Structure 1
Amino acid sequence: MERTEIVSVFQKKIFGLALTIGAASFIMAQQKVNISGNVKDANGGVGYASITFKNQQNSQLSDAALADVDGNYKIDLAPGNYDVSIEAVDYKKFTQTIRVEKAGAISPFVIVSDGKANLNNTTDIQGVVITATSTKPYKVELDKKTYDPSQDIVSKGGNLQDVLSNVPSVSVDTDGTVSMRGNSNIRFLINGKPSSLLGIDDGADALKSIPADQIEKIEVITNPSSKYEASGTAGILNIILKKSSKMGFNGSVEGTLGYLPNTRLNTSLSWKKGSWTYYLNGGGSYNRNKSTNNSTYNYLLDPVRLSNNASIFTDQRGKNKSENKNYNVNSGFVVDLSEKSSLNASVMFRTFENEGTETIDTYDRIVRKDIDADDYPDVPYTILDKNSLRVNESIRNNNSFQADLGFDQKIGDKGQLLSLATSYQTNKSDSSGPIDQTSIVSDGTSESVVNNILNNSKNTTFLAKADYELPIGENSKLEAGARFDLNNNDYSYFVNQSTNDSPFEILERFTSDTRYDEKISAVYSQFRSKIGNFGYQLGLRMENTNIDVSFKSMENAELVEVPKNYTGFFPSAFFSYNLDKSNQILLNYSRRINRPRSWFLIPFMSFGNDRSLFLGNPDLNPTYENSFELGYSLSKSKIVFNPTLYLKKSQDEVNFYQYDALDTNGNTVLYRMPVNAGSETNYGLDLNATYDPFKWLRIMGNVDLFGYDNSGSYKDFSYEGNGFSSRLRLTTTFRPDKKTSLQIQGFYRGSEKTASVDRHSMYSINFGATRTILDGNGTLAFNIQDIFNTRARENTTYAPSYSQYQYMQWNPRQFSISFTYRFKQGEKIEQPKKKKDINANSSGGDDMPPM
């Protein structure tokens, strides 16, 4: 099916769904009458009280209302008998039965702060809890930190990558690489599970496919407990997408226009009635990217290999322009089958298209002596110049599908819970395009080379898990579970070549087929409890990994198989001590694993830049890491202060072995291969703070002061790097009036020297502004990314045979304006928590899906 047909069908389905929901709402509205009332105490109206009307005959006719600041409310109800539940802050929960017969006002509900009210049959409400919008964008909990992006003005109208650029303890490099405390080995989850929404091998492109407007919150788990999967030595980033819990039909639409250009249209629809909740999020975007990548190489050991005593200097100037089109939809439902059981299901679709042109201009200068320098010291060097122009035109397509099914069952009346979940995901990527390179040498000779590249990959993932919770007394809980992951990846790579208009020939060493099968079986158990102000959680996880890699190239037709099977134990320990309601000390430990990425194990080279080639290593083994953290949390009305000392020690660290060699045309080519070489130690202070000195001013800062020590050796190269560096982010938000917000954000990353790379410092400044319009239903937002156009990466790489300087700017300065409209806003309600998290502080509890 053509893309235009897909878009047409997508648009028709959204329109049809909206029309159907709207028609159903209209029909039901004809059967209802308008009711008004008031909630008050002895002193007058009680603002923002929650009033829930539960129909005794038909739960589908139930609804809820939220009182205004004076305690007044209005609601449309069908005639019948209702159990009215009321809740307000600092007031006792209670219910009353009423009869609705016709439109008009009903008697006010009078409540008092001591829990007594002149309502008949007053009891505790069991069904509804009003949750107000958090005033803090950053919360510290026992085993994670939660970030609310809704208050990020600089990322309005953007995508997940833009949001992550603002998350404390997280940084995004100029090429889209995401890292936590300097470590890029992050495990990404969507709603607590791996997701095809992020694609396969897509990197930054996948992060751009998720609109910022669809993100509810981001959980930053720097030291995961044993109930979470053990992969990801940097930790876990769990992206929670929005699922509206408001009664009735609700929705929002967001549109964005920006420079390069950048256009985006997204919609979020939900319908909650009785025990059913339906939701639909979807949209599309179009944007252009423009990057710069310049390199300077100095090859030091070429005199040994060349027939003439010589050295080579190479200068490359690269530019990349691309167009991206993205469409995605996420739809599902949640239904309460009974008071103790619920079922949820969802599906996701995503398509991504990229058309790009990369131009690389290479200038080689070969300096050589045609005679013995010792015999003729006065003879100067002779210079041979060679210019190459390389144009790579590529088309990439990615299609993803995911289906999830979950079931929750409460057992007994003491808080036991059994949760079952399964997920099926497929992801297919195709890329193709010609590479045209013309070389001209100063002696007058020239050469024209054309390559065609076809690269196909397909991933299928199946996940099944079960989790069980058993409360023990008032302060303890036992958790246990099991999980199975099955991942199948198929890679196909084809390259042919034509030189000076000769017939095309297949390049056998680049043409290959690979099958990657991975099975991970896991079980875990953990126990948490609290003794006075002291809380603890101890856990152990066991994971068995079974990997089979089979590959075959045209150069070597024999099928090669590499089996890998290993079992690891991953303990975790968390301790907390509450000094008082606002102060808490946290100490934790966990063991993690970094499994080699599938394409890291494939021993075939990718044909992109013919002067710089990457090849995998089938002998690569996983990296294990021990992680320790000591933190302090202060949370008061005007300030949140969270410093954390951390130490991470890894074994069998993966470094990149780099070497150079001459190709058949005499050009020097750089080769890069991952290897297990040595160990790495990281330590530092990660400090996050939010300060609200005035109602109109908020200051949010993140400072990461860290040291590192990387040492090891592989063949002729030693990996030694140590030092101290920093990352800083400061965000200041002003509110000149109730409807306007202005935000300025600055970011700085200090210089850093690793085992083989000297990385230069970098800084950038962003600006954003929002204005609420249309009686609060609309929001206008404007932002500028990288005001001074300084966000670029510079580094120098050293190897035994060469040195390389590289400058890269992923995108120049950008700006955008967006408009969001919200309609039919209902009252947000959430089911009460099963039991207060005995180890969480007052800022929140553990609501991430386990395993």
Structure 2
Amino acid sequence: MKNAIKKITLVLILFLSTGVATAQEKGLIISGSLIEQETKQPIPYATVVLKDLDTANVFVGTTTNDKGGFRLATKEKDFLVEISFMGYATRVISDFKIENSVLDLGTITLESESQSLEEVEIRGEVSKTVFKLDKRVFNVGKDLSSTGMSGLEVLDNVPSVNVSIDGEISLRGGAGVQILINGKPSVLADESSNALGTITADMIESIEVITNASAKYEASGTAGILNIILKKEEKKGWNGSVTANTGYPANHSIGLSLNRRTDKFNLFTQLGGGYRSMPRFSESRNFNKITEETISSIGENYRNEAFFNITLGTDYHINDYNVLTLSGNFAYEMEDQPSETSFEYTDGNGDLISSWTRNEVTDAINPKWQYDLNYKKQFKNNKEHTLQISGLGSFFGKDQSSDFTTREVNGLNLNGDQRTATNFNKQDYTFKADYINPMTKFFTLELGSQYALNNVANNYLVEDFVGGEYVTDQNQTNNFEYNQKVLGVYTTGAYERGNWGVKGGVRIENTDLSTFLVNTEESNDQNFTDFFPTLHTSYKVSDKLSFQAGYSKRIYRPRLWDLNPFFNISNNFNIRAGNPNLQSEYTDSYELTSIYRIGKASFSSSLYHQYTKDVIERVSTIENNTVYVRPYNVGSNSKLGFETNGKYIPTKWLTISADFNMNYFDRKGDFQNQTFDFSGSQWSLGITPKIKLPYDIDFEFTVKTQSGYETVQGETSGYTTLDVGLRKKVLKGKIMLNLSVRDVFESRIRENFVSQDTFENYSFGQRQRQIAFGISYGFGKGEAMNYTGRRR
């Protein structure tokens, strides 16, 4: 009996030993997800390594994926986990619990290096740019000079982005930028008006700069994509912030943000309203080389706006895996645009023939609304396995009337009294579906589609005062109809292992575009299908050096105001109009980026090449001393550029941020028997030092320089501007006092020269210095102007 027990015991020991050996052979699985401490956003492509407890030798390593998740295996028993990423303090984890050969580290937070240099109570104050595989995320809310800004002005503070005084947005010096709100087209980003002016800086959480997008994003925008992320709190309980701003010229606004989070619901709302005045000085000169006659003008105009904006929404957490979001936005603007322009008409000898003054009184109301329904499902097998379906609808309207009166000063009056009326309606609908499936621990598949519909009607009436009554001018009156439908489908695959990752995809888009001029019965119908391949890869050499590379093909479809032959007659000797026969332009974009750290400084540098064909250029022509500016497709543009962004934190009280961009371009093309072949360059530089002063006071200033550059018909001048900001914290950050001055020396200008065989044109524009003071108060669990709640 004893022998039998011994034999059974021996068999059990051998069996258990075999089981343990087998378990050890299978190894230990370690997993987790990485987020940023301040914004709660995932951190992709961070380094995760296992090190020996005694020697610090590395056993095995990997990088986090797009969602910040990671997974690796080891046969080692005694180790520590070290997580690092450029710009963040390294995190070491040595205290953990292993269950059933699985180590789940859960959600891990990383703190930015700039935060670790500061006192606890002022963490999260420094704005920074976070670099991801196919985009850069610029956190806006902490900029001192953003006090009282509109969304358009905030964009101008983002590295690589430039906004002209006319509101034209360029990225790395190129037009054709796609603007998104929370990842989708939006009425708030509509180019048909100053829509971004209804968004105030304190409503914006971050801006994503996407210069080389993956196939997941729609292919519009040859220069790239700017995605504006609006704030939405999700801290449990009541949270909120109220902000008030005032400034000169008149810039007064008040905003309220409220959030209520329960186990099932997250209710959020934002309200904003205010009044602003935007004075602008302008000057122009048309010289006819054939007749040697000159018409010059000088004037000042105002764009006064009263606006109101409200956003309401709710997240309904059906269960742990399903969330339904419904939100709506309504904005309303009331415009008043008075102006006065003085004209002079001189002959070839410089003698004055006539002079007169033209006054404009314009009033408009602009209602805007938008609704958005979104459903997101997370699958139980993996939280990164998701399905998201959304529908969005929006409307923008404009009811505008203008009266133009002239007063003779000397000689003949070349202008008569006129009046115009505009009735504009734009309706957009977008339907999206996105599916993400991490099929293995190394490979992720994405599938999706989008269907966008844009319908516009613009009824424009021009009347001339003739013989004591107003008579319709049939040459300038038109009713323009614009309809565009774009259907896109895409797929991407991402493979990530160790320090290396690659992501490839293709997007197919069918465009159905039709325009119709009702008065003349002119139509232009286009239907075409395009393939847009993308490829991105990354490799991490060390904790201090990593590389990213990408390729994408993009399209810039002519937008409404590019196509609409609408005449703006505010100055009827310098007229801008659209061209309904425009074709789309296409760009092949290549980019190589390095992210590296030297001591207390971190940098991101990119070398990029863009080749664009059928480039849309605004070309000037002259008829009867009147200069017309219309867009045309003119040849190709090959651009080679270099861009670098950096941050240096030498001490606790000083942070220096800078960005530099330079590109060389080679233009080739012909237009109306003229050859536009030339080469040129342009560059921009921005430097922002931020200084921490005693008594919880922060001071910063930004110097920004934009170089001049050659155009197809002449040249555009450069400029240098200075913005300054001052912030005082009260009650440990519950109250913020802000003072900012934009364009201190009023040096931000728009100056263009056009020189052709038959004429010359000079135009100049300038806006006034802006001073703003703001106060913010955070209540509940919120902080003034500091939205750091978890985003879902």
TM-aligned CA deviation for residue 195 of structure 1: 0.6
* Residue type at the aligned position of 2:211: T
Match for residue 427 of structure 1?
396
Q: Deviations over 1:175-195 (max 9, x none)?
A: 222211111211000000011
* Residue type at the aligned position of 1:549: T
SS in 1 for 2:212: coil
Is 1:392–2:340 an aligned residue pair?
no
Is 1:159–2:150 an aligned residue pair?
yes
SS in 2 for 1:599: helix
CA contact (8 A) 1:462 1:486 kept: yes
Question: How far apart, in 1, do the equivalents of 2:469 and 2:234 lie?
Answer: 63
Question: How far apart, in 1, do the equivalents of 2:481 and 2:370 lie?
Answer: 21
How many pairs are equivalent? 687
Query: Would the alpha carbon gap of residues 572 and 391 (structure 1) be closer, same or farther in structure 2, given more than 3 Å must change?
Result: same
Question: How far apart, in 2, do the equivalents of 1:382 and 1:698 lie?
Answer: 55
SS in 2 for 1:508: coil
Question: How far apart, in 2, do the equivalents of 1:570 and 1:382 lie?
Answer: 56
Tell me which of 367, 373, 376 is aligned to 1:405. Answer: 373
Question: How far apart, in 1, do the equivalents of 2:96 and 2:414 lie?
Answer: 89
Is 1:767–2:756 an aligned residue pair?
no
Question: How far apart, in 2, do the equivalents of 1:786 and 1:657 lie?
Answer: 30
Question: How far apart, in 2, do the equivalents of 1:525 and 1:124 lie?
Answer: 30
Question: How far apart, in 1, do the equivalents of 2:582 and 2:192 lie?
Answer: 19
* Structure 1 stretch displaced more, 738-747 or 228-237: 738-747
Match for residue 733 of structure 1?
690
* Residue type at the aligned position of 1:524: Y
Match for residue 331 of structure 1?
312
Question: How far apart, in 2, do the equivalents of 1:544 and 1:323 lie?
Answer: 41
TM-aligned CA deviation for residue 600 of structure 1: 2.2
Structure 1 residue ranges without an equivalent (≥5): 1-48, 51-89, 93-111, 303-310, 368-380, 663-667, 833-851
Mapping of residues 761-840 of structure 1, within 5 Å: 761-809=718-766, 811-825=767-781, 830=790
Is 1:418–2:392 an aligned residue pair?
no
Tell me which of 589, 604, 607 is aligned to 1:627. Answer: 589
Tell me which of 178, 181, 193 is aligned to 1:190. Answer: 181
Mapping of residues 145-184 of structure 1, within 5 Å: 145-184=136-175
SS in 2 for 1:337: strand
Mapping of residues 48-67 of structure 1, within 5 Å: none
Match for residue 745 of structure 1?
702
TM-aligned CA deviation for residue 509 of structure 1: 1.1
Q: Deviations over 1:705-747 (max 9, x none)?
A: 1112222111133323421221000000000236210001101
Query: Would the alpha carbon gap of residues 265 and 779 (structure 1) be closer, same or farther in structure 2, given more than 3 Å must change?
Result: same
Query: Would the alpha carbon gap of residues 702 and 532 (structure 1) be closer, same or farther in structure 2, given more than 3 Å must change?
Result: same
Q: Deviations over 1:81-130 (max 9, x none)?
A: xxxxxxxxx999xxxxxxxxxxxxxxxxxxx962369xxxx997979979
Is 1:757–2:757 an aligned residue pair?
no
Tell me which of 398, 405, 409 is aligned to 1:436. Answer: 405
Is 1:514–2:474 an aligned residue pair?
no
Match for residue 14 of structure 2?
none
Root mean square deviation of aligned Cα? 2.5
SS in 1 for 2:144: coil
CA contact (8 A) 2:127 2:140 kept: no
Tell me which of 625, 635, 656 is aligned to 1:699. Answer: 656
CA contact (8 A) 1:727 1:749 kept: yes
CA contact (8 A) 2:286 2:627 kept: no
* Structure 1 stretch displaced more, 152-161 or 265-274: 152-161
Match for residue 8 of structure 2?
none
CA contact (8 A) 1:651 1:678 kept: yes
Match for residue 550 of structure 2?
588
Question: How far apart, in 2, do the equivalents of 1:150 and 1:484 lie?
Answer: 33
* Structure 1 stretch displaced more, 155-164 or 272-281: 155-164
* Residue type at the aligned position of 1:496: E
Question: How far apart, in 1, do the equivalents of 2:228 and 2:387 lie?
Answer: 23
Tell me which of 337, 345, 355 is aligned to 1:356. Answer: 337
Question: How far apart, in 1, do the equivalents of 2:789 and 2:81 lie?
Answer: 17
Question: How far apart, in 2, do the equivalents of 1:831 and 1:233 lie?
Answer: 30
Match for residue 205 of structure 2?
216
Q: Deviations over 1:134-178 (max 9, x none)?
A: 866111110000001122111123221222121111112222222
CA contact (8 A) 2:252 2:275 kept: yes
Question: How far apart, in 2, do the equivalents of 1:797 and 1:510 lie?
Answer: 25
* Residue type at the aligned position of 1:725: Q
* Residue type at the aligned position of 1:457: F
* Structure 1 stretch displaced more, 799-808 or 182-191: 799-808
TM-aligned CA deviation for residue 648 of structure 1: 0.7
Match for residue 538 of structure 1?
504
TM-aligned CA deviation for residue 787 of structure 1: 1.4
Query: Would the alpha carbon gap of residues 814 and 515 (structure 1) be closer, same or farther in structure 2, given more than 3 Å must change?
Result: same
TM-aligned CA deviation for residue 618 of structure 1: 2.4
Question: How far apart, in 2, do the equivalents of 1:215 and 1:762 lie?
Answer: 27
Q: Deviations over 1:458-508 (max 9, x none)?
A: 111111111111112112101010110011001100011114x62211101
Question: How far apart, in 2, do the equivalents of 1:799 and 1:585 lie?
Answer: 46
* Residue type at the aligned position of 1:353: M
Mapping of residues 369-768 of structure 1, within 5 Å: 383=351, 385-414=353-382, 415-442=384-411, 445-446=412-413, 449-499=416-466, 502-553=468-519, 556=520, 559-635=521-597, 638-662=600-624, 668-737=625-694, 739-768=696-725
Question: How far apart, in 2, do the equivalents of 1:474 and 1:508 lie?
Answer: 67
Question: How far apart, in 2, do the equivalents of 1:790 and 1:719 lie?
Answer: 31
SS in 1 for 2:188: helix
Question: How far apart, in 2, do the equivalents of 1:128 and 1:401 lie?
Answer: 39
TM norm structure 1 = 0.77
Question: How far apart, in 1, do the equivalents of 2:144 and 2:590 lie?
Answer: 34
TM norm structure 2 = 0.83
* Residue type at the aligned position of 1:385: I
CA contact (8 A) 1:289 1:321 kept: yes
* Residue type at the aligned position of 2:368: S
CA contact (8 A) 2:271 2:309 kept: yes
Structure 2 residue ranges without an equivalent (≥5): 1-36, 39-79, 83-92, 112-122
* Residue type at the aligned position of 2:189: L
* Residue type at the aligned position of 1:435: F
TM-aligned CA deviation for residue 602 of structure 1: 3.0
CA contact (8 A) 1:199 1:400 kept: no
Mapping of residues 82-231 of structure 1, within 5 Å: 114-115=95-96, 133=124, 137-202=128-193, 205-231=194-220
TM-aligned CA deviation for residue 416 of structure 1: 2.2
* Residue type at the aligned position of 2:421: L
Match for residue 255 of structure 2?
266
Question: How far apart, in 2, do the equivalents of 1:425 and 1:639 lie?
Answer: 44
Match for residue 19 of structure 2?
none
Question: How far apart, in 2, do the equivalents of 1:114 and 1:124 lie?
Answer: 12
* Residue type at the aligned position of 1:481: G
CA contact (8 A) 2:187 2:195 kept: no
CA contact (8 A) 2:482 2:560 kept: yes
Match for residue 253 of structure 1?
242
Query: Would the alpha carbon gap of residues 441 and 343 (structure 1) be closer, same or farther in structure 2, given more than 3 Å must change?
Result: same
Query: Would the alpha carbon gap of residues 409 and 732 (structure 1) be closer, same or farther in structure 2, given more than 3 Å must change?
Result: same
Question: How far apart, in 2, do the equivalents of 1:611 and 1:288 lie?
Answer: 26
* Residue type at the aligned position of 1:190: I
TM-aligned CA deviation for residue 532 of structure 1: 2.7
TM-aligned CA deviation for residue 355 of structure 1: 0.2
Tell me which of 283, 286, 293 is aligned to 2:275. Answer: 286
TM-aligned CA deviation for residue 636 of structure 1: 7.5
